[in-house]
Structure 1
Amino acid sequence: MTSPQVSEPKAKKPDWLWIGLCVLVGVAAIFVAWRLVLPNPDLNAMPAFWSGVLINVGTSILLAGVLFVLERRFVKETRVVVAEAAEAAATQAVEHASNANNQLGARVSELEARLNEQLAEQQRIHDEALSSLTSDASYESVFPSLKMAYELGAVSQQGLTIPAGPDAGSPRIRFVYEPAFYDDEGGGHEEQLTVQYVAERKPNEMGTPIVSTLWHAGDHPTDVFRRLMADMVRSGRGNDTKRLKIGNAFTNLALALKEAMSARRGDESWQSGGSVIELLTDGWILTENGVETRGHGIVATPPQFTPPFSASERQAWRLPDKPKWADPEVWKVAMQRGQQELPTYSPFPF
């Protein structure tokens, strides 16, 4: 930006003839007035009257010439002052705009750098929490990691289900973070961590038992699983307690949370980034988007697990066919779990 240039009008030469004539007439009028009163000092006489008139007229004409010169000088000086003031103001405006642009650029750069630092610090905290979970199965590691994943939407609000064993057919355990909740009557609870056994319905069984236990701060993980397994026995699921492996449960929990968080943050991942419902086995998960596998993406979507309402259409309906590359046992578990967790609506409105 350049400062505006204030052009000065070209000055006209003084009209010396006019100035000289005014001076000459003024001096002549004063001289005549002086001559009128010189021989007759009587102030009441007529010559004295005209002498006063001529003095006033002569003085006025003489001042007109002098003021003409002074007025030109004053206008010239004023013009110079105005021009200098305008140029100074324009320069100051340019400098102010330049400084403002520089300061804005500095602020933007500072904000960008600060945001990147905050994001890096946030990711570092997440990574440290997840890393600690791989070697520490305490409440102090599990609770904040699961809460963090819940708040980011990396896991479903119903919790994260994992196999508590070495394969996809192992008994399934669900870790649920529940935020604080209070009703108008004063009931409710503070935020808490619940560990559930995901029971499968037996033939001719009315309903499916809910087996769960609260994990309180200070509880050792073996005490939590001991209580859970005792409830499993009371509900008739004693056989599954023999196959339940606490080490595999926490290993799979750490694996599922790490990959779910990475996908949710947009890091490089084989997962879609949808909220994870269940880890079926390594490389197989259920998300809100469907059944996902490493290397093949989404292989079955929620609508494919939704039976139609019509009875005639329901007879012809079936689950997706197994791809040639899929392991039969893993595919069977994936279809069973998908049918239970992923339908977009219930075929029975009641």
Structure 2
Amino acid sequence: MTDRQGVPVSEEPQVKVRWGAMAIVAVVGFGVSASPFVLSAKFGDQFGTQQSLLATALLNVGTAVMLVAVAFLLERVLEKRVKSVARTSAQEVVETRTKDLERANSNLGVRLDALQAQLESQVAATDAHRFAESSRLASDVSFENVAKALEHANSLGALAGGVVVVPASEQIDGPRVGFSWGPQMADDEEAGILHGQPRMRLTYVVEEKRPEHTGTPVVEVDWHADTPAAEAVAALVVEMRRRGFGAEAGSIGAPMFQHLSIAIQEAMAGRAALPGFWVRGEMYEWVWDGWAVTDRGLVSRDHGLYESGEFPEPLHSAIMRGHRRGPKEFEAGAPEGVEPKVWETAVRRAKAYHPAGSYFIGGGIGSFYTSETTPR
């Protein structure tokens, strides 16, 4: 319980009055006080006269009454003093415990602030490391740096299927190349099992079907760890020419690595929701500056997100519903200030991943390496 000031005090124990003992003491006291009068009456004045005995008795009674008054006064004073000391002690205990609690909360706040600072520092250092690895591609192109950049992006889940497609030239309507880094399932004849072989692939994205092709050809080369970047790109050019894409191969060049660096950085920034991010979802393709295709649709830095549902219905969805695939097309016009060629290319590339047409580049290689699973 607490007093009026809110200070906790202990409940006073109830004192049990012993009425029998009090009665015995009173009778004994009365008997002792009356005995001189009885003796004086029986034996004469040798025990004192009645007047002197009465005076003495009255004096004793008066003295007793004063002593009772003094004792009562002292008891009240002592009781107040004890209560005051108890209240003061209780207040001191409360204040001490309150200060201890405040000190503990303050220390906890300091520890939490320190932990928050350490967390922010650690996250910032991790982000800085990831972005440093991907930005290095623009000036130092190598198998190692490309692999690191892809691994960092895959660790964040920034690339859909572990693959990212970028323009391979300085022209927005030029050829496009996909980069992937993951295990290839290969047949081990001696062991009789399948096992993953590390493989980095450079894949030319075929958009136009040719009469000589029965389907969409896969034009790609492996980039080995000991192969310089120039040789890997030259091998892709040779393969494109061999497969009948010589004209497009003439536009393949070094800008693809600058585009790859930008694509990975913007994909990671979007995945981590860093300040200024604009990419939403897992990136399929970096179309051009400020434009990308993700698993959510067509994304623009300045014009927002065109959801995948705004594109024509995928063929497999129409079949599942038992309907014929109609001629529905994405009819949105170019946003204000966007060049027609940029808009036409962005919509065309978005349809490749959210299609009504027959070709679909999305889905990646199924498995890919991250910073934690890298075989390097």
Q: TM-score range by the shorter chain?
A: 0.5 to 0.7
> Deviations along 1:291-332, whole A, 9 cap, x unmatched?
222321224635413257389864442232432644333333
CA distance in 2 between partners of 1:168 and 1:249 (Å): 11
TM-score norm. by structure 1 comes to 0.67
Displacement of 1:5: 2.7
Q: Paired residue for 1:241? A: 249
Displacement of 1:91: 7.8
> Deviations along 1:160-212, whole A, 9 cap, x unmatched?
10111111211111011226879996422255422211123423221122122
Q: Paired residue for 1:306? A: 313
Residue identity matched to 2:135: S
1:320 and 2:331 correspond? yes
CA distance in 2 between partners of 1:136 and 1:286 (Å): 27
Q: Paired residue for 2:294? A: 287
Displacement of 1:343: 3.1
Residue identity matched to 1:165: S
Q: Aligned-pair RMSD on alpha carbons?
A: 4.2
Taking structure 1 as reference, are residues 264 and 345 closer, same or farther at Cα in structure 2, changes over 3 Å only? farther
Displacement of 1:124: 1.6
Q: Paired residue for 2:196? A: 189
Taking structure 1 as reference, are residues 209 and 8 closer, same or farther at Cα in structure 2, changes over 3 Å only? same
Taking structure 1 as reference, are residues 118 and 186 closer, same or farther at Cα in structure 2, changes over 3 Å only? farther
CA distance in 2 between partners of 1:106 and 1:187 (Å): 54
Paired residue secondary structure (1:125): helix
1:222 and 2:230 correspond? yes
Question: Where do 1:1-350 residues align within 5 Å?
Answer: 4-6=8-10, 18=25, 97-98=101-102, 100-178=104-182, 186-204=193-211, 205-245=213-253, 247-269=254-276, 271-299=278-306, 301-306=308-313, 309=318, 314-323=325-334, 325=336, 326-343=338-355
Q: How many residues align?
A: 290
CA distance in 2 between partners of 1:89 and 1:129 (Å): 59
Displacement of 1:19: 11
CA distance in 1 between partners of 2:104 and 2:185 (Å): 50
Whose relative contact order is higher, 1 or 2, with alpha carbons under 8 Å and at least 6 apart? 2
Q: Which moved more, 1:136-145 or 1:261-270?
A: 261-270
Taking structure 1 as reference, are residues 162 and 8 closer, same or farther at Cα in structure 2, changes over 3 Å only? same
CA distance in 1 between partners of 2:207 and 2:255 (Å): 20
Residue identity matched to 1:129: E
Indicate if the aligned counterparts of 1:146 and 1:257 stay in contact, CA closer than 8 A.
yes
Gaps of 5+ in 1: 26-78
Residue identity matched to 1:333: T
Indicate if the aligned counterparts of 1:175 and 1:196 stay in contact, CA closer than 8 A.
yes
Taking structure 1 as reference, are residues 181 and 121 closer, same or farther at Cα in structure 2, changes over 3 Å only? farther
Indicate if the aligned counterparts of 1:3 and 1:91 stay in contact, CA closer than 8 A.
no
Displacement of 1:158: 4.7
CA distance in 2 between partners of 1:90 and 1:20 (Å): 50
Indicate if the aligned counterparts of 1:156 and 1:277 stay in contact, CA closer than 8 A.
yes
TM-score norm. by structure 2 comes to 0.63
CA distance in 2 between partners of 1:150 and 1:345 (Å): 28
Gaps of 5+ in 2: 1-5, 33-81, 360-376
Q: Paired residue for 1:51? A: none
CA distance in 1 between partners of 2:264 and 2:348 (Å): 22
CA distance in 2 between partners of 1:297 and 1:90 (Å): 59
Indicate if the aligned counterparts of 2:283 and 2:294 stay in contact, CA closer than 8 A.
yes
Paired residue secondary structure (1:343): coil
Taking structure 1 as reference, are residues 272 and 244 closer, same or farther at Cα in structure 2, changes over 3 Å only? closer
Residue identity matched to 1:328: P
Paired residue secondary structure (2:160): coil
Indicate if the aligned counterparts of 2:267 and 2:279 stay in contact, CA closer than 8 A.
no
Taking structure 1 as reference, are residues 136 and 295 closer, same or farther at Cα in structure 2, changes over 3 Å only? same
CA distance in 2 between partners of 1:132 and 1:327 (Å): 30
Indicate if the aligned counterparts of 1:154 and 1:273 stay in contact, CA closer than 8 A.
no
* Percent of aligned pairs with the same amino acid: 27
Displacement of 1:253: 0.8
Indicate if the aligned counterparts of 2:269 and 2:277 stay in contact, CA closer than 8 A.
no
Taking structure 1 as reference, are residues 95 and 158 closer, same or farther at Cα in structure 2, changes over 3 Å only? closer
CA distance in 2 between partners of 1:124 and 1:324 (Å): 34
Q: Paired residue for 1:29? A: none
